[in-house]
Amino acid sequence: MTDVHDRIREFWDRDSATYDRSPGHAVNDVVEAATWRRALLDALPAPPARVLDVGAGTGALALPAAELGYDVTALDLSEGMLDRAREKASVRGLDLTFAVASATDPPDGPFDAVFERHVVWTLPEPVVALRAWREVTAPGGRLVLFEAIWGRRDLTARTRRRAAQLARGMYGVPDDHHAPYPDEVLAHLPLARMPSPEPVVRIVYEAGWRAVRIRRLRDVEWARRLQQPGPLGWLEHLPRYTLVAEA
C-alpha cells in the first residue's frame, strides 16, 4: 500500500503545476465560487467553527471557508498542491493552517467538522480514513462530503464522454489533468468508479458515522455549465451532491 500512496502523491505533485487551469478545480469563476460559499454555509456548522479540509489541494474550498470566517486546517498528501494553496492564501490575506499528510493520518482535533471535495474516490482505504476523521471530530461534530457521480458506464454516458473529448478539441479546452490517472493505481481505489452515491453511504456508516443525508448541488452544477463553451457544459454535466453525517 505504501507504493500506491507514493504513486498518488507523485501524481498530484505533478498535477499541481496545471491543476488550476481547470476553472472547476480552482473555483476561480465568481458565480461558481458564490455557489460553493452557499454550499459550505449550508453544510458546515456556523463560523467560526474549527474545520478540517481533507485533500484540500490548491485551496478551492479551504480558502472560501476561511473567507467565511471558519478556522480552517487544510490537509493534503501533496506538498506541491498545498504550496499553491499557501500562495493563494497569502495573496488574499487569509490565515489557514496547512498540514502535509495522508488522509488516514489527520492532525489532532477536535474539529467541529471534517469536509472534503472529490477526495474519497482517491483513497485506497476509505473506511480507515473516514474512521480517522471521526476520531478527530468533536462529539456532535459532522462529516461533509462534496461528491459527484463519476463512474457511469452505460451507453449514454460513454457516448457523452466521447463527444465531450471532441468538443474539447474543437474549442481548444485542455484536459483537466496533466495526465490520465494510472490504471494500476485506480485498481486499488474502491470508490474510483462509483455509478451512484450508494457505495459512499455504505462506507460512511461502516466507518461509524450516523444520520447520513444527501442533498443535490444543483446550483454548483448550473454554475459549472455556464462556464463551458458550446455544448461542452451539457456533455460534461455530472450529478453533484453533499453528503452530511454526524459523529
Q: Which CATH superfamily is domain 2-246 in?
A: Vaccinia Virus protein VP39 (3.40.50.150)
What's the CA gap between 143 and 243, in Å, rounded? 8
Question: Furthest-apart CA pair in the chain: how many Å?
Answer: 52
Q: Which residue bears the cell 461509524?
A: 208
Most confident listed range (49-53, 159-163, 227-231): 49-53
Q: Which of 3-12, 97-106, 156-165, 223-232 has the lowest mean pLDDT?
A: 156-165
How does residue 163 score in pLDDT terms, banded at 50, 70 and 90? low
Domain spans of the chain? 2-246
* pTM for this entry: 0.92
pLDDT at 165 over 70: yes
Contact 61, 53 (CB under 8 A): yes
Could you tell me the three cell numbers for 17?
503545476
pLDDT tens, position by position, 2-56: 688 889 899 888 988 888 888 778 888 999 999 999 999 999 999 999 999 999 9
Three-state DSSP state, 128: helix
pLDDT at res. 236: 76
What's the CA gap between 205 and 18, in Å, rounded? 35
Antiparallel, parallel or unpaired: β 97-100 and 240-246: unpaired
Q: What does the mean pLDDT of the chain come to?
A: 91
